[in-house]
Structure 1
Amino acid sequence: MSIPNEALQKLLLELEQSAAQSQQQISAVKQQIALKGRESRMLQLTKGEVESLPKDTKVYEGVGKMFVMTPADEVKQRLSTEDSELKSDVSSLEKRLQYLETTFKNSRQNLDKVLKAGGG
């Protein structure tokens, strides 16, 4: 069974586009994971610094162009909440990355099959 030349070209183009799109999305997701990882590390470092302060130390948070005194416990809680949200985001991004890598792999395999079938 031979595939007409025009149909083969169209199929190849679609598979190449799918593979290229998956590759771009993989790159974007990897960048997002790296960014979230850096943010999480900064939050952990900040939380460690706040936790190492004596209990009666005044803690200030930046709000726009000013600083507002905030109870240290409140700051610790906010940092913990943000860190857990970041971890959840990273988990979701890793699942998406796995899906995209599978999609890319499948596109490449399909492309190879079409090339072998069309060339033989």
Structure 2
Amino acid sequence: MRSRTRCRRFPTAQAPCGDKMAAPVDLELKKAFTELQAKVIDTQQKVKLADIQIEQLSKTKKHAHLTDTEVMMLVDETRMYEGVGRMFILQSKGVIHNQLLEKQRIAEEKIKELEQKKSYLERSVKEAEDNIREMLMARRAQ
């Protein structure tokens, strides 16, 4: 059995003399990992925000669609009022219908934009992870 004496040069050292200490951390690799971690956290927050916005826009689109179907069932001569601030303006059925269709179209466009942004963010994180994997493989090959 080997006795665990302390090194004479470094009496407070935990490892006995002659044993190798842990290899120094590769600063470039450490920097890459911290950057990746920050990027992943930032991306996760942006993806959550995009999901919330997509959900809100989907509700807006659905609400406009349901309202439009109800409006279209009414007789053409029905008096319709649009709420503007604290007052109401008399509008025709066609104008209300066009406004609701426009609202649905805008919501759909914004949803598509947010989904594209979300997929781009997820792709960029995946690429960063792949780059670090390649860096690790290159280090191990050395």
**What TM-score do you get using the length of structure 2 for normalisation?**
0.73
Q: Distance between the aligned counterparts of 2:69 and 2:91, measured in 1?
A: 17
| Residues 16-49 of structure 1 deviation map (CA, whole Å, 9 limit, x = unaligned) | 1111111111111111111110100000011111
For 2:80, which of 49, 55, 59 is the aligned residue? 59
C-alpha distance in 2 between matches for 1:93 and 1:100: 10
Identity %: 26
Aligned to 1:21: 42
Compute the displacement of 1:105 (Å): 2.1
Cα-Cα RMSD: 2.2
TM-score normalised per structure 1 = 0.85
Q: Which residue of 1 aligns with 2:122?
A: 101
Unpaired runs of 5+ residues, structure 1, are none
- Structure showing the higher helix proportion among its residues: 1
The structure having more radius of gyration, on CA atoms, is: 2
Partner of 2:101: 80
Q: 2: distance between equivalents of 1:104 and 1:30?
A: 17
Which runs of no fewer than 5 residues in structure 2 stay unpaired? 1-23
Q: Which has the higher contact order (CA 8 A, sep 6+)?
A: 1
**Total equivalences in the alignment:** 118
After TM superposition, give the deviation of residue 112 of structure 1 in Å: 4.7
Runs of 4+ with deviation above 6 angstroms: 116-120
Contact 1:29 1:93 in 2 (8 A): yes
